[in-house]
Amino acid sequence: MEKHKIDKLFENAFVEFVSTPNANLWERIETQIPQSSSKKTHKKRFIWLLLSLLFLAISWVSYRYSHEELLAGSHKPKKAEYVASIPTHTNMDTQENDKKFDVNAATKHHLEPTTVLEKKIGSETPNLPPAEEKSIELIQKEEKKMTEVEIKKDSISQSISSKPLKDTLQKSQTPKGTKIIIKLSEPEPSQEGKARDFAATKTGKFLRKLKKIKNGESKIPKLHIALN
Amino acid sequence: MKVKITEEELIKRCLKADPLAQRYLYEKYAAKFLGICKRYFVNIHDAEDVLVMAFAKIFEKIKHYRGEGSFEGWMKRLLINECLTTLRKKQILFVEADAHVQLADNTETAEQMLNTEDLLACLQRLPDGYRTVFNLYAIEGYSHQEIANMLNISEGTSKSQLSRARNLLQNYLKEMTKEASFRLNEVSQWKNIK
């Protein structure tokens, strides 16, 4: 079927018809375009990365915390350690031995459990063993609560300006130069130390009682069991 | 520096929502598509609004393009559908008219004397219903059955609308040609006086 002349006229006229759009038209289109999928995926990736990092951080912190707890737990004195040290004193008859081996004194100065154990294992021998003596020496050394640190004046930089440090410094004139004595105060006993003190006092009392029983100064306490 | 890009590459990049490709596609077809919109709407703002919506739909539905037929044709269909949807919202009336009216044949003189802008002016003078049917049948090449389905009217209505549109256009062309010939005479007389 042939096309109408008017139809042809208009068709030919509008085949290549163009009209320049407004400059801001693209901006309007941009606002209407649905958010690009790539942007969405980038956002998703970022969120996942953030979440995984957070998870890693949390797991690391929890691991560290539990690990530290475990480590701290391994240093805590076990009952067995103290128990092991108890029977050694049954061999000590004299007051001297009692003086030499004072568990309280040892524990007061926060000896490491291993040191205490060494000492006690050594004390299991019939005569006073050298190990025990050594440990007492250690205790005596530790009794020196103050540590003197000698620092030559020349080596000290003038930059020591913090007030608390200045207060603790005592200057004394010597022919060679000035000596600065830094007094370090004893650290407060930790929970661990306190626990050890408590255990040690208990064992000390028990040992003294045992000696008294052996010497005949006191009688063996009767065990009363009440049955309902 | 201008970079040439094939249509396939352009489609692929638009599928990935590449903003540069989208802009490139817009720059390539915006003027042509605005020309189409202007044939359907008298008001330029309406035409621009439809163009904006059509491009947004093109970028949204580009994933549905299966490569059957030309990409430009697919985009054109989307654009025309958008035009029709907007016209439907405006509730254009399709009035039944006498189908067979004899028209005076003055198309050849009109073709010689009028340019595209004049023809566009004639087209825009038509009522919305006439103009839509004329655009779809005469310029886009749809059949009366297709037009009837697209506009939800009967085939008879489509035919009568077209006939009426042609009749009116003939009158407008006559007027335009007269005006144009009058202007030409004036110019030639002015030249003779000089």
* Contact yes or no for A34 and B60 at CB 8 A: yes
User: Which candidate in A29, A37, A43 is best for mutational testing of the B interface (most B CBs within 10 A)?
Assistant: A29
**CB within 8 A of B97, min separation 6: which ones?**
B160, B161, B163, B164
In this predicted structure, what is the pLDDT of residue A118? 47
Chain A, window 21-40: residues with a beta carbon less than 8 angstroms from a chain B beta carbon = 21-22, 25-26, 28-30, 32-34, 36-39
Measure CB to CB from residue B17 to each of A9, A29, A36 and give the nearest one. Answer: A36
Confidence at residue A187, expressed as pLDDT on a 0 to 100 scale:
58
Contacts of A14 in chain B (CB under 8 A): 35, 39, 116, 119-120, 139
> In chain A, where does DSSP find H-type helix?
5-14, 25-32, 37-75, 79-85, 95-100, 103-108, 113-123, 130-143, 163-168, 191-215
Q: What is the pLDDT of residue A130?
A: 54
Per-residue confidence (pLDDT) for residue B81, from 0 to 100: 93
CA distance A1 to chain B (A): 12
Residue B101 has pLDDT above 60, yes or no: no
Quick check: B120 and A25 CB within 8 A? no
- A4 closest CB neighbour out of B30, B52, B166: B166
Measured in angstroms, the CA of B146 and the nearest CA of chain A are apart by: 17
Which residue from B85, B62, B44 is spatially nearest to B8, judged by alpha carbons? B62
Whole-angstrom Cα distance, residue A222 to residue A220? Answer: 6
Contacting B residues, span 86-105, partner chain A, CB-CB under 8 Å: 103, 105
Residue A86: what pLDDT? 46
Higher-confidence residue: A33 or B94? A33
**pLDDT tens, position by position, B18-57:** 889 999 999 999 999 999 999 999 999 999 999 999 999 9
Q: What percent of chain B has pLDDT over 70?
A: 87
* Cβ contacts of B16 on chain A, cutoff 8 Å: 36-38
**How far is Cα B45 from Cα B43, in angstroms, rounded to an integer?**
5
| Tens-digit pLDDT profile for residues A94-146 | 455 555 445 455 445 544 444 444 444 444 445 555 555 555 666 666 666 55
> What angle separates helix B116-125 from helix A5-14, to the nearest 10 degrees?
120
- A19-45 pLDDT, tens digit per residue, is 998 888 999 998 888 665 556 677 788
Does pLDDT of A77 surpass 80?
A: no
Can you name the residues that pair with A180 across neighbouring β-strands?
A: A151, A171
Contact indicator for A26, B37 with CB cutoff of 8 Å: no
Judged against a pLDDT cut of 50, whether residue B3 lies above it is answered with: yes
Q: Which residues of A touch B123 (CB under 8 A)?
A: 10
Task: Find all residues with CB under 8 Å of A169, minimum gap 6, and list them.
Answer: A160, A180, A181, A182
Q: What integer best gives the mean pLDDT of chain A?
A: 66
Model confidence at B155: pLDDT above 90: yes
Chain B residue closest to A27 (CA)? B52
Question: Is residue A92 scored above 50 in pLDDT?
Answer: no
The minimum CA-CA distance between B81 and chain A, rounded to whole Å, is 18
Cα–Cα distance between B130 and A155 in angstroms, integer?
A: 105
Using an 8 Å CB-CB cutoff, list chain A residues near B38.
19
